[in-house]
Each structure stands twice: as C-alpha cells, then as structure tokens.
Structure 1
C-alpha cells in the first residue's frame, strides 16, 4: 500500500462524511448511536471518537480504522440518507469499502464485512433492494413505467445485482438469496413483455437468462419444484434467441442438476445434459463445454456405463487443457480442474475404485476453499464419506459427515441434505455404534431429520 493510496482512502472517507452534511463531531455521534443500536455501546466520549475520525481522514498520515470501528462504519453507511439499506455499486457502502481498501484493508476482510451486512440487511425480511445501486433503483422504477427508457446502465446494474446474489451462495441461506433476487427477476419478466428498444434486447435477454437460471436453482433449494421448473423453462426460452449457445447450455446444466434430485430416474436429467452438450459444442465457451462433458460423465457413471463415463471425462480434461492454453473464456462459469476432480471421484465411486474416488474427493475438497464453493465442497465431502464407507472406514465417514451437517444447516441447501441422508442410510450396518448415534443426534439438532 502506497502513501498515495492511503491519502485517497482518507479523502474518500472525508467525502462520505461531508456528503451526509456531518461535521467531525456529527460523525462521532452517529457512530456512537450506531453502536447503541447494535447493542454494542462504545465507552468512548464524543471528543475521543471525533479524534479517531480525524486520524482516519488525516491528509498527512491517515490510519485504517480498527476492527470495531470498521464494523460500525459499515452499518452506518449501509443505510443511505433516505434510511434505506443500499449495498450495491454506487452506494455509500460501496464507497466505504473502496476507501477502506485504499487504507490497507485486505480484500478477504472486506468480503467478509460485505457478506455480514448483506446477511444483516435480510435478517427481518426487508432489504429486498439492498443489492441494487441507488441509480439502478430509480432507473428501474422509470423503466417499469415506460420500457422505452431502458438503457445500458440499467441493464448493467441488473446484471451486477444477479452476480452479487450469485456470489453470496454459501454465505447466506437460500431463502434470503431468493428474496434478494426477486426484484430483478420480476423486472426482467415485465421488461421482456415489450417496449424495450430493439438494440438492447440481446443484453436484456442475457440478464434475464442468468436471473431465471439462478432463480430456478434457488426455488429448487427452497423446495418449490413447480416454480423451479417454470423459471428454468423461462430461462431456456429467453436464451434461445441469443447467438451465444453456451448461455442456453448453462441453463440446461443447472436444470439437469436439480432434475437429478427432484425427479425419479436418470432419463430426464440425461436429456437435459445431452442438450447442454449439444449447445456447448456449438458455443464459444470451452469452460462450459468442459462442465457439460463432466456432467455427462456423472450421468453415465450413475447408469453403470464405465466406458461412456471415461470418454466424457477425457473430453472434459481436453476442454480444460484447451481453456488453460488460451486463457480467455466468454463465460464466468467457475469450472476448473479442482471441480473436475469431484466428477472424477464420482465416476470412480460408481464404476471404479473407491480408494481412487476417495483421493479425488479429498483433493477437490482441499481446493474448493471459497465461500461461494461451500455448497459444492459439502456435496463432495458427502461423496468422500460414501467412499470411506465402501472402504470399510465408517467412523471416518461419520467424522466427515458432521462438518457437512453444519454446512447444510447454515445454507439450507437441499442437495447437501439429500446427499447426507443417502450417506446416513449407507451407515445402517453400524447403527448401534456410538459414532452413528452421535451423527444422528447432530442431524436431528441441525436439520430436524
């Protein structure tokens, strides 16, 4: 961090305060009031807090606010001057995070702080528009009245909100994410009904496709299968006119995964995966193609077809090698060799060697470290536990499943819960053992089952 960065951060903090019309003393009183509102009153007096504010904004040698003050500043600036929570681009909160970054705060700590404020904003069921920038809110209200007023800035704001909700998967319960995404999904639906300028329709369809796909997954996770199917149908139809076929492949893949867990048998999921592969092969995203082939391998392995599973895995590896050589991909799909290890493990689990499967799963879990990958990490861990059971190591399996229970409970994820129940059934031969009784108690306490 350079001196210039620190000074820019200090100037940004000062600008935020001035924009609220606050003196140094006013800012100090606002921080003290925020601490009282949060049930964490400060022992410091107004003059003492005022001196701290002045040190953060110093034009000579500014300092980064301490942990407690960073939290108070976050809560203070999360609410706009109108009293509404605003955490999206262009909000005071976003400006605060940028200022703290210039003052030296680590990106990981800023991400944690933002995730905390998103969670807080949805604690009481309000804050539905929290992830929309203030300008996006105003533009959206105007466009819903007159679709001809849609512009590129509004569509960019809506896409940013979709990406924001998607990035919170694993950090927030799915029910809250569903609430945060609802305004964007409904806005897309209404705007697509007509009146939007023709040149902007492809971008609107792109935003809507991603919104519908994510909404379909969230509806599934919250056990609303009928709404999920309708949203995936809307996503598939909206992606159809787009020239980028890989976008429709992404819809098919997401739909296939939820179908795998909500529809008996494999045929419906297989048809969706095959459709995804067809679209991905004619699309420009090699990463999407790799993921489609990996899903094809999983379906083949679950069907007991080792040769087809290995062929699809080979194609997925080839695709990833191509993607790593080019270094560019039009999609933001997060699929890498670390994710592929989980699919390789699944294929070994169903049509290969359980010991090899266990090692693939362990490598995948170790690499999937971000909050966004928490749900995937939990799913892979339950598969690793199944491998342990097949290797006659049930106690090791139970140990793995305990951590999976905690993750499934915190996110409300449906797939991890289903995988947990399946793994628990595999432990029936050891049902009288103490480690199984402990796991059952944990399952009942956290998931009620």
Structure 2
C-alpha cells in the first residue's frame, strides 16, 4: 500500500471509529462551515461524494477549505472538548494528510489555526495535550508515581506549540497558554521528583518553558519578572549535562538585557558566558549564534576588530553545522546576515549593511520569522538614512510600521523609535510628518 492510499485508509478509519456515516460527516462539515461563517457548502449528497473520493484508493486530496473543516471536526472530541495532542484524532488526521502528500507547511498552518482556536475558546493546557496525557497529568500532579514518558512529551509539545505562535498571537494570550505548563513542570519536579529516566527530559522542558516565559515577560515590559524567569532557567539548565542548553538560555537572556537597558556590560557578560558554554557543547548552531551576538555587542562598543573576528567564527560554525545538531533551526545563514548588517552599521560600511539587511529580510518569509524580518527591515531603513536616503528610508519604515502593528514585538518597537530619531534632521519635511502620523495612527505614538 503506497502512502497516499494509506492516508486515505487512515482518514476512513477516523470517521468510522467515531461511528459517523458519510452523510453524518457531510452534515457535520456543513454545520462547522456555518459556525465559522464560511461560504455555504454544496448539498449534503455532493459533500458526501467528496468524502468518499478522499477515502478511496484512487485518492484525491481534500482542498484547503475541506482540510480546515475536517481539522475542526477531528480536533473536537465526541464530548465537545478540544484535543490536539499526540495520539488525538486531530494528530492522526494531520498524519493522514501528510501521507496523502500534503506539505509540512500546510500541516503546520492547520495546527497553528487550531491552537489559536483552542485559546479563543478559553482552552489551554489540557486541550494541547494528548487525551491520555491530559488525564495522566491530573493524576501525576497529585501523585508523582503516575508520571510517565507520554505526559513529559506532552508538556514539551505544549511549550513547542506556544513558541510556534510567537508573532501570531498576542503575548498576553501566549502567557496564559504557557503558565500552566511551566507550573506543571515545577510541581512535578518538586513532588518527590520524577523517576530518574524522566528527570532530565522534564527538566529540559522546564528550562524551555522558563526561557519562553522570560521572553514573554520581556515583551510585555515586566523586566523584573523576566529576569527572575531567566535566573530560574539558568539554574535548572546548569543541572543538565548539556552545555549548549545553558548557552541557549544565556543568549536569550542577553538579548532581553541588551534591549531592556542601556547598560551593555551586563549583556556582554551574558554573551561571554554563552560563548564559553557553547564552546564545550555539541550544537554548532548555538555556537554560531553565540559568536554572532558577540560580534554585535563588540560592534556596539566600537570594537571593529573583535566584531569581525566573532563574525568569522560564526560563519565557520554555520558552514560546519551537523545534520544531527541537537537544536535544528536555532540559527542559520539568513539570520547571520542580519547580524553582519548590524555590525557594518556600527563599525563598517553602511552600503554593505544595507545589502546584508535586504538579503536577510527577503529570506525571512515564514510567519514565525515575521518579527525578525521587521527588525531587520527597520535596520535596513536606518542604513538608508546613514547613506543619505531619508525618503527611501521613510518608505521602508511605513512597511515596517504596518507589519509591527500585527506582531507587537518590543524589539521591533525599539528599532522603530531609533530609526525615527535618526530622521530628526528632516523633521520639518512632509515625508517625516507622514511617518509620524502613521506611527500615531497604528501604534499610538
């Protein structure tokens, strides 16, 4: 049986396991479409024939509209609650689509859409866990002996789901989604401690949750709470036998310190700690990221030679990255271009900086990368100002302002303020007044 046929068979099993006939499923999809305010579906008999085609051996793929409707159908349990975790009908539905040939990007879009729907409905932690893991978590919080690998994996999946929504959902909403998972990690480690085989996995999830929580507190401008969460993550990462993990914590913390305070010395100390930890770790991507941030800090301090040396080390690590890196996607050549641009902006050639920013922004196309793209594009506008092209800079800033309104990232806002300050010599010009009006209309300042 080829994979597309296996996917069709899996789709049929999902339906029949719920006791749904073809007509029942057609009516359910019609009702979901009405609830979502989507265009009216064809007659039930027509929808029924489409479902039969999807489930036949000569498979045809449900189109995007029907994929979304089926996602809502299988994300809702027979009891009316939402369940998206591993082993749920929803997860099996996504696996079926993947076997039928659907792209990973589209499957990620469907998952993200349903994660947002869970939060819109007031759901959260249990909705993002597998059904069995959700029930087991309630028991494990009362008695640690019930803790098993499925519960730990489920908590890691929740943290990953929340992280994937950064830039798509308001930060306050993400905090509400993440808080129960973080608290569950703390309590499970405190109640007698998990069995030795699960302790390190649970502590890794705890570290990731605390780092993400620290980032979210930074974005919502509670720097004291952010600092406490990063200190928690640093403490727990130090108990893991993974230096790259501790380096990752230092790097995330350093970025928040770098932009929350004018005191660059504290950020520099955290970066140096990250470089030391990454040097003895097994992730070249984290090592590259540490050297890239080291280069930016040196450039901000006016240390051109040190900045160039750190960038060279970052390039070296990127070129020698391993397919088995423990943190794939942690850094890339596209992200490095943005750091190279910042370094040239401070201690190099603004022409090169501009071109590096343009290349980096063009390569950052996924929804998860949108905030980084805005930051890079705003820096590109700053390079245009320093090249004596304020009109062109203003045109680019209008695009950045519009995009920043949807993400709300704090670093992007800081970058926008800095770029606007650089336009002061032209403050009497109409194109600068237009930028100010746009900032007021969209961002309120």
TM more than 0.5? yes
Distance 1:67 1:199, change over 3 A: closer
Match for 1:113 among 94, 110, 115? 110
Contact 1:130–1:180 (8 Å) recurs in 2:
no
Q: Which segments of structure 1 move beyond 6 Å, counting only runs of 4 or more?
A: none
Contact 2:143–2:191 (8 Å) recurs in 1:
no
Distance 1:446 1:116, change over 3 A: farther
Q: Does 1:42 find its partner at 2:46? A: no
Contact 1:219–1:225 (8 Å) recurs in 2:
yes
Distance in 2 (alpha carbons) for counterparts of 1:193 and 1:347 = 44
Q: Does 1:375 find its partner at 2:371? A: yes
Residue of structure 2 equivalent to 1:71:
68
Distance in 1 (alpha carbons) for counterparts of 2:333 and 2:399 = 24
Q: Does 1:411 find its partner at 2:400? A: no
- Please list the CA deviations of residues 315-334 of structure 1 after superposition, one character each: whole Å capped at 9, or x if unmatched: 222222332xx443222352
Residue of structure 2 equivalent to 1:200:
198
Distance 1:398 1:132, change over 3 A: farther
Match for 1:349 among 345, 351, 359? 345
Distance in 2 (alpha carbons) for counterparts of 1:61 and 1:327 = 36
Contact 1:280–1:288 (8 Å) recurs in 2:
yes
Residue of structure 2 equivalent to 1:297:
295
Residue of structure 2 equivalent to 1:156:
153
Q: If the length of structure 1 is used for normalisation, what is the TM-score?
A: 0.93
Q: How does 1:226-245 map to 2 (within 5 A)?
A: 226-245=224-243
Q: CA deviation at 1:23?
A: 1.4
Q: CA deviation at 1:440?
A: 2.2
Q: Does 1:389 find its partner at 2:385? A: yes
Contact 2:11–2:93 (8 Å) recurs in 1:
yes
Distance 1:6 1:343, change over 3 A: same
Residue of structure 1 equivalent to 2:214:
216
Residue of structure 2 equivalent to 1:358:
354
Unaligned regions of 5+ residues in structure 1, if any? Answer: none
Contact 2:125–2:181 (8 Å) recurs in 1:
no
Question: Which one is further off, 196-205 or 165-174?
Answer: 165-174
Distance in 1 (alpha carbons) for counterparts of 2:413 and 2:126 = 30
SS at match of 2:137: helix
Match for 2:59 among 53, 57, 62? 62
Contact 1:129–1:180 (8 Å) recurs in 2:
no
SS at match of 1:334: coil
- Please list the CA deviations of residues 292-320 of structure 1 after superposition, one character each: whole Å capped at 9, or x if unmatched: 11111111111111122112212222222
Residue of structure 2 equivalent to 1:424:
420
Contact 2:207–2:236 (8 Å) recurs in 1:
yes
SS at match of 1:130: helix
Residue of structure 1 equivalent to 2:15:
17
Match for 1:261 among 259, 262, 265? 259
SS at match of 2:320: helix
Distance in 1 (alpha carbons) for counterparts of 2:41 and 2:241 = 61
Distance 1:403 1:52, change over 3 A: same
Distance in 1 (alpha carbons) for counterparts of 2:81 and 2:437 = 42
Distance in 1 (alpha carbons) for counterparts of 2:307 and 2:246 = 23
Distance in 2 (alpha carbons) for counterparts of 1:405 and 1:321 = 34
Distance in 1 (alpha carbons) for counterparts of 2:324 and 2:386 = 40
Contact 1:212–1:232 (8 Å) recurs in 2:
yes
SS at match of 1:192: helix
Unaligned regions of 5+ residues in structure 2, if any? Answer: none
Distance in 1 (alpha carbons) for counterparts of 2:33 and 2:352 = 53
Distance in 1 (alpha carbons) for counterparts of 2:278 and 2:63 = 49
Q: CA deviation at 1:6?
A: 2.6
Contact 2:247–2:277 (8 Å) recurs in 1:
yes
Distance in 1 (alpha carbons) for counterparts of 2:187 and 2:428 = 57
Distance 1:54 1:162, change over 3 A: same
Q: CA RMSD in A?
A: 1.9
Contact 1:398–1:439 (8 Å) recurs in 2:
yes
SS at match of 1:49: helix
Distance in 2 (alpha carbons) for counterparts of 1:68 and 1:418 = 39
Match for 1:167 among 153, 164, 169? 164
Distance in 2 (alpha carbons) for counterparts of 1:350 and 1:189 = 42
Distance in 2 (alpha carbons) for counterparts of 1:338 and 1:360 = 9
